[in-house]
Structure 1
Amino acid sequence: MKGFLIMLLISTIALTGCNISNNIDNNTEYKKINAEEAKAIIDSEDVIILDVRTQEEYDSGHIENAVLLPVTEIADKAEEILPDKDAKILIYCRSGNRSATASKDLIRMGYTNVYDFGGINSWPYRIVK
């Protein structure tokens, strides 16, 4: 009986530990918004606009005040360029694929307020060159 109780206690601790980890991981969810929602947030809040395209793409036209961090450099440079993991970050690329990848990568790295608004191809507002 004593052995059974010890096994039950170990199992309970192990399962509780897993549940705690899963809850922490699930607190931040991937959020997709459209260009209109992104524009409204940009116009009314203090946000970081993150462009995850290449330098060449960025130079050809980007959203005003956007910070460039190519998706290929997220793992190496995010914490340097984006030190506040609770800052509101709105992410875009050309068509929406890289922004989704970058958003999910940042969430896995512990960023808590990340929004993917897709590609600049569907951005109907002004861009700068």
Structure 2
Amino acid sequence: MSPEELRAFCLSFNDVVEDFPFNPETSVFKVAGKMFALSALGGRPLTVNLKCDPDLAVQLRAAHPEIVPGYHMNKRHWNTVTADGDLPDEQLGELIEDSYDLVVAGLPRALRLRLDRP
């Protein structure tokens, strides 16, 4: 997945904004003000930090060398994924969507319903 594809995919979800709270090089993708993905889109290799269910995070790390504990993040809840590696784009897209869904699941019910995510 290219940096442009990664940005476009993250922004394709409801109510997502791209923000730069850390520095101008690090894109942070948020839904309702809560972060679900962050990436230095100009970095090589291209990586993205994604929120993940803790049990699934351990399984993914064991199965895929492109997935490691979240860099500068809570390593129990975040993975760093090499986006331009051997991981298929479809699977990376599923991980991004899962991260978005985990964040949305923690939002108040009324906001979740507005986002069409029960």
Provide TM-score, normalisation by structure 1: 0.23
Instruction: Indicate the structure with greater helix content.
Output: 1
Of structures 1 and 2, the one scoring higher in RCO (CA 8 A, sep 6+) is 1
Q: Which has the larger radius of gyration?
A: 1
Q: Could you state the TM-score of these two structures normalised by the residue count of structure 2?
A: 0.24
